[in-house]
Amino acid sequence: MLSVSTVFLSGLWAGLSLSSGPDSSVVLLESTVVTASRTEQRVENTTVSVDVLPLRVLEEKANARVEQVIQMAPGVTLQDGQANIRSGSGWSLGAGSRVLVLVDGLPALSPDAGGVLWNAMPMEAVQQIEVVKGASSSLYGSSALNGVIHLRTWEPSQNLRVRVSTMAECYDKPKMRSLGWWDQPRGRGALRFAVSDSRGESNQHGWVVHGQVFGDQGYQYLVGDQSSRLHLKYRYKPSSRLEVGLQGQWWNSDRSSSLIWEDYRLGYTPLDSSATLTQSQLGALTGHVKYRVGRSLHTLQIRQMAYANQSGLDSNDYSNEGASLHAEYLLQHFASNGWTYTAGALWLSSDMNAVLFSGAHTAINQAVFAQADWKKSQWDVNLGLRWESFQVDGLQASKPVFRAGSHYAITPVSHLRASLAQGFRFPSIAERFSASAAGALQVFPNPSLQPESGWTGEIGYKQLLRKGNFQGYVDAAFFWTQFENMLEFTFGKWGNLPGTTLANYGFTSLNVGSTRITGLELSAAARAKWGPWIVEGMAGYTYAQPISLDPTYAYATDMDGAALSYTSTSLDPSKGILKYRYVHTAKSDINLRYGRWSLGSSLRYNSFMSNIDAIFTDPLIAIFVPGVADSRYQLNQGDLFLDIRLLARLTDQWTLQCAVTNAANRMASPRPALLSEPRTFSLQLTYALN
């Protein structure tokens, strides 16, 4: 895989001579981003790796959920809903995340579990998706230890803007006949809308309304999802110096989930044919004020959020509820000598009560941060510092984190960058206190968990390309990440109930010691036009080596008194690869447009997950969770998925799209005892105005 990607990059490198002429620095694929430094800048001028996903990947693919779009970013993978960047995380059942998800600059992680509620993300109004890779805690705090995914949504438009779409998708029967338990057609569908406009003198009053109704019958037995959401955004600008805004969010979900399959041959049937039922409600109200005085901009954001989850399996109650208050003040001063100064303070408090978490808990997060950005001629330099403090039920931890980065434009089309950033993450409430079950398997609490910390270093090079009607870029980055006290979701024997077997086994979060992740990432994007034909494409390849720095370090002891280390718990410790990681990942998307027709395809590849918890293949556990060894034997060539789409622009406002996802109907196991979904066929009809 590496040699193929190297050849691909070499071929594009040979095109560097195309970047000539006075307009060579202007390429269509350039974007303005805000996530890298909290100020607007061209993506090629950032000091860290930032990917901007093309809007067409969001709008021209019939995506059921926004994570299907995000996983097209190079180096980004999602395992059972858990996002990780460049192998910075394994699998953790949605309890805690090293990748911070932002929506319009505010964290979108759940206050209790620290995970992402993907179906609550406003994909119908997303304008741009920015992915910042590597530790970003100095600007965004604890959960940005491995990077940031930022969804920037519509702002009020000067003229009426409308987008309405309806999608229907049908599951195909899998190739393995024993998996296809359903007799009647099953599928999912969505109705989405987004409207924005401005009114009044100089568009003083602006608003955006968007939402979705979603239904998924599911390809797993008893596992489905019904949800709806509504988002409101109002902005008032009485003058060029003042802006006041208010946002509201409401989300309702009725869903079921399963942790473990019945067997590999019955991989779409949950263990004991049972699923956890969860009804969720979430509401949030956010207000902001922006006030400009001379060259200084003051921003205050306050968000109140409340949520409730009624959840259970059989007679077990896993319900929880709570509320959080997020307040953040940001001061930015744009000096005349090329300096931009950013400083701010954060207060985040959460109160929750849960049977799942064994009672009530209070969490408080405080932070102060500052950053200086300097731009002159070909140089961009930034320095940042943040002090972060956490307190949960008497356990307190604090730590300063630092970042530094530089960018140098060798020529208007050749850009070199380097960065070093520290990170810090406090365990989520769920990681420390969650006590639940999936059938007979348990999820065990670990109140003694300690915070994890780390740093990321990177050197990157971006080359812009342009000649005539061809334009694009190639990018190469070498990265090095290290973690201390790294948290891993680990399967083992953690219970001591008498006279039971499987009820003493399950998952818990552990600090597993020091780890290191090094690797290389190559990416490219291009657009070309030949007469009426337009070709657009993007591709990325990531090679990562995630290893344990002390494989024999005993980081825990199970209920049998056995000392646990990387070596003793790993199914394949021979290469030192951390559990639940991919060494090679590759993505590509290409779109061919002719007149009112577009034909596109996407490819996604993950290499074989060589290492998991060894206990999954233990003969005793295999009695109760059968088929893990069989699936690894059958699915040992890695995951390769092909998606195909055809779009017709019926009129200037109406488009019709049909698509096939996982066209080859391949199976994959993103983590033990779970199979990915089969091939799907979809239709999407969209009306768009302005």
The predicted structure's pLDDT at residue 500: 65
Per residue in 256-265, pLDDT (tens digit) is 988 889 999 9
Confidence of residue 425 (pLDDT cuts 50, 70, 90): confident
pLDDT in tens, 292-319: 999 999 999 999 999 998 887 777 777 8
Q: How confident is the model at residue 182 (pLDDT cuts 50, 70, 90)?
A: very high
End-to-end CA distance of the chain, in Å?
42
Of 165-174, 245-254, 445-454, minimum mean pLDDT range = 445-454
pLDDT (0 to 100) of residue 8: 34
pLDDT attached to residue 370: 96
**Rounded CA separation 461/464 (Å):** 10
Q: What pLDDT is recorded for position 38?
A: 81
Closest CA to 307 of 117, 158, 46: 117
Digit-coded pLDDT (tens) for 331-341: 999 998 899 99
Separation CA 351–CA 354 (nearest Å)? 10
Domains held by the chain: number: 1
Q: What CA–CA distance (Å, rounded) separates 79 from 99?
A: 13
Cβ-proximal residues to 278 (8 Å cutoff; 6+ apart), any chain: 253, 254, 255, 256, 257, 309, 310, 311, 318
**Among 315-319, 591-595, 621-625, which range has the highest average pLDDT?**
591-595
Residue ranges in 604-655 assigned as alpha helix (H): 619-624, 628-634
CATH of the domain at 352: 2.40.170.20
Cβ-Cβ contacts under 8 Å for 527 (sequence gap 6 or more): 28, 29, 470, 471, 472, 534, 535, 536, 537
Under a CB-based contact definition with an 8 Å cutoff, are residues 269 and 181 in contact? yes
How would residue 60 be classed by pLDDT, with cut points 50, 70 and 90? Answer: confident
Q: What pLDDT, on a 0 to 100 scale, did the predictor assign at position 545?
A: 97
Percent of the chain with pLDDT over 70: 93
**pLDDT exceeds 90 at position 351:** no
| 99 compared with 679, residue with greater pLDDT | 679
C-alpha of 454 from chain center = 19
Which comes out higher in pLDDT, residue 7 or 145? 145
Least confident span in 384-398, 402-416, 661-675? 384-398
Q: Is the pLDDT of residue 9 over 90?
A: no
Element (H, E) at 209: strand 205-216
Among 53, 35, 209, CA closest to 125: 209
Whether the pLDDT of residue 20 is over 70: the answer is no
Range in 98-107, 118-127, 355-364, 397-406 with the lowest mean pLDDT: 355-364
What's the whole-number average pLDDT of the chain?
88
Mean pLDDT across 65-70: 87
- Would you call 156 helix, strand, or coil by DSSP? coil
What does the pLDDT average to over 192-203?
Answer: 89
b/e code 311-337 from CB counts within 10 Å (16+ = b):
bbbeeeebebebbbebebbbebbbeee
Does residue 551 surpass a pLDDT of 50?
Answer: yes
As a three-state string, the secondary structure of 49-77 is: CEEEECHHHHHCCCCCCCHHHHCCCCCEE
Distance (Å, rounded) from C-alpha 474 to C-alpha 145?
A: 26
Mean pLDDT, residues 92-116 taken together: 79
The yes-or-no verdict on residue 643 having pLDDT over 50 is yes
Q: In the structure encoding, which two tokens stand for residue 610, read together?
A: 């060589």
| pLDDT tens per residue, range 490-535 | 888 888 887 666 778 888 889 999 999 999 999 999 999 999 999 9
In the numeric block, which tokens belong to residue 581? 């990681």
- The pLDDT value recorded for residue 493 is 85
Q: Which residue has the tokens 């438009």?
A: 157
Assess contact for 171 and 677: CB atoms under 8 A: yes
What average pLDDT score do residues 87-107 get? 82
The residues with which 655 forms a beta bridge, in sequence order, are: 649, 686
Label residue 458 by pLDDT band (50, 70, 90): very high
- Determine the Cα–Cα distance for residues 511 and 485; give it in Å rounded to an integer: 5
Q: For the beta carbon of residue 160, count every other beta carbon within 10 angstroms.
A: 11
Predicted pLDDT of residue 438: 59
| Domain hosting residue 638, numbered range | 2-689
Angstrom CA distances, 150 to 35, 60, 115, 165, 284, stand at: 7, 20, 15, 23, 18
Classified as helix, coil or strand, 87 is coil
Q: Are strands 106-107 and 99-103 parallel, antiparallel or unpaired?
A: antiparallel
Q: 27: pLDDT confidence band, cut at 50, 70 and 90? A: very low
What length is written for the chain?
A: 690
The residue with greater pLDDT, 54 or 30, is 54
Alpha helices in 460-585 (DSSP H): 566-569
Calpha distance 593→531 (Å, rounded): 11
The helix/strand/coil state of 505 is: strand
